[in-house]
Amino acid sequence: MHVLSQRFSAVRQEQWGDDMVLTVNGIDMVPYIKYQGFKWQRNDVDGPDAGRTMDALMRRERVATKIRLDISCKPLLAAEASIVLTAIMPEYVTVQYYDPQVGAVVTKTMYSNNNPAAYCIKKNNGREYWQGIDFPLIEQ
């Protein structure tokens, strides 16, 4: 096993345990996620007749639910930042993740948008770090 892969495996085990799974188009994203940097959210999609009536009663007409994952990365080396940003670049990506509602790993087609990255620092050894890489993964 490559030394970098061994380091990521050790960090992954310590931080997330065996249950955490997040891949984007087959790329393991877990090593790049900061502590508490994985947020799961269910979003309801309501029909055209949903909303408040004149007596302030809320009328729901849920037609679907979609999952949104909000991912926050730890500071990454430039090469790692490139891996993450390139993985989420396609219009749609295949995402496997541990779904806390289902209690199992699921696979969904998702998309990402509005992906920031801020230059952090260049160390004396020449390594450059990027931070603030946060992105949504939204079910199609």
pLDDT tens across the length of the chain (140 residues)? 455 555 555 554 455 455 789 999 999 999 999 999 999 999 999 999 898 989 999 999 999 999 999 999 999 999 999 999 999 999 999 999 999 999 999 999 999 999 999 998 888 898 999 999 999 999 99
The answer to whether residue 5 sits within a structural domain is: no
The answer to whether residue 2 sits within a structural domain is: no
- Please state whether the predicted TM-score (pTM) of the whole model is above 0.95: no
Query: What count of Cα atoms within 13 Å lies in the side-chain half-sphere of residue 107?
Result: 4
**Residues 100-117, buried b or exposed e (16+ Cβ, 10 A)?**
eeeeeeeebebebeeeeb
The answer to whether residue 9 sits within a structural domain is: no
pLDDT of residue 45: 93
pLDDT of residue 12: 46
The answer to whether residue 6 sits within a structural domain is: no
pLDDT of residue 117: 94
The CATH code of the domain that includes 65 is 2.40.30
Domain carrying residue 29: 15-139
- What single string gives the DSSP state of each residue in 23-75? EETTEE-GGGEEEEEEEEEEEEEE-TT-EE-TT--EE--EEEEEEEEEEEEPP
pLDDT of residue 137: 98
Q: How many domains does the chain have?
A: 1
- Tokens representing 113 are 């948008």
The answer to whether residue 100 sits within a structural domain is: yes
The answer to whether residue 4 sits within a structural domain is: no
pLDDT of residue 13: 47
pLDDT of residue 6: 53
The answer to whether residue 7 sits within a structural domain is: no
